Amino acid sequence: MRSEGSQVHFGLLVVTGVSWLYLLYMAWGMANMDQPAAQFFMPAMVHWGAMDLALVFAMWAIMMAAMMLPSAAPMVRIFARSAEAQADHSSGALTSAFVGGYLAVWSTFSAVVTLAQWGLLELRLVTPMMESASNSLSGALLIGAGAYQFTGFKNACLNKCRTPLGFLMSEWRPGVHGAFIMGLRHGVYCTGCCAMLMLLLFVLGVMNLLWILALTLIVLAEKLLPAESLWPSQVLGIGLTVWGGCVLLNL
């Protein structure tokens, strides 16, 4: 029989895997809009209603789970081990609450980005295929994300994500409610260091799988580096800023 820790890890793997399968389906659907099976979870091309907003929100929320859970796995793993010491609650319940709090923050981010995408679509700055239709928008997002890599706030949030044990020692709260709050706080730090990178999905396409995978690997690499390693993030910042300048200048 699996231990509770193994069950938590297995559950995390299942959620991540199912989320990526959903992304594969959505990417296939975007490329095969004429197929009936491709239209089931697809929003309208223009003039979204409530159902379209719900579908786009679900898309963003599941995509954030697929992209962010791999980089959160070290924190979840250490939390699960620490939670085993709480005799009044199972570590599975505590870890599930922690992950639930973490995903709640990214779901809130997804709701905000869904509304932003709706507005950009109505302004014709984003195409119905969910990619930027404006060099100005693309350039601004790239330069903004590049500049953000150099901010103290980005570095402070990233440091929290890179040091799971330090985060748990300073943020520990008992019980299921405490675990949920800790997940929320970790989610806030994670959003603080990664939100600008997630906005870059608008540049090359929200459903561009290669772009999604590239951003996932970038986020994972940033979080796995030692806390004192700032230069990779700064190199990325320079690259994004130069790329954004080239886009704005049509180079």
Domain total in the chain = 1
What global pTM score does this model have? 0.90
- Per-residue confidence (pLDDT) for residue 6, from 0 to 100: 66
Q: What gap in Å lies between CA 174 and CA 221, rounded to an integer?
A: 31
The closest of 198, 163, 10 to 99, measured between CA atoms, is: 10
Which residue bears the tokens 């929200």?
Answer: 206
Q: Which domain holds residue 213?
A: 4-248
- Per-residue confidence (pLDDT) for residue 45, from 0 to 100: 75
- Per-residue confidence (pLDDT) for residue 174, from 0 to 100: 87
Q: Please, which residues have CB within 8 angstroms of residue 27's CB and are 6 or more apart in sequence?
A: 207, 208, 209
- Per-residue confidence (pLDDT) for residue 38, from 0 to 100: 57
- Per-residue confidence (pLDDT) for residue 1, from 0 to 100: 41
Average pLDDT for runs of 10 along the chain of length 251: 62 90 86 66 79 93 95 91 74 89 97 95 90 94 97 93 90 91 96 96 91 94 84 93 94 68
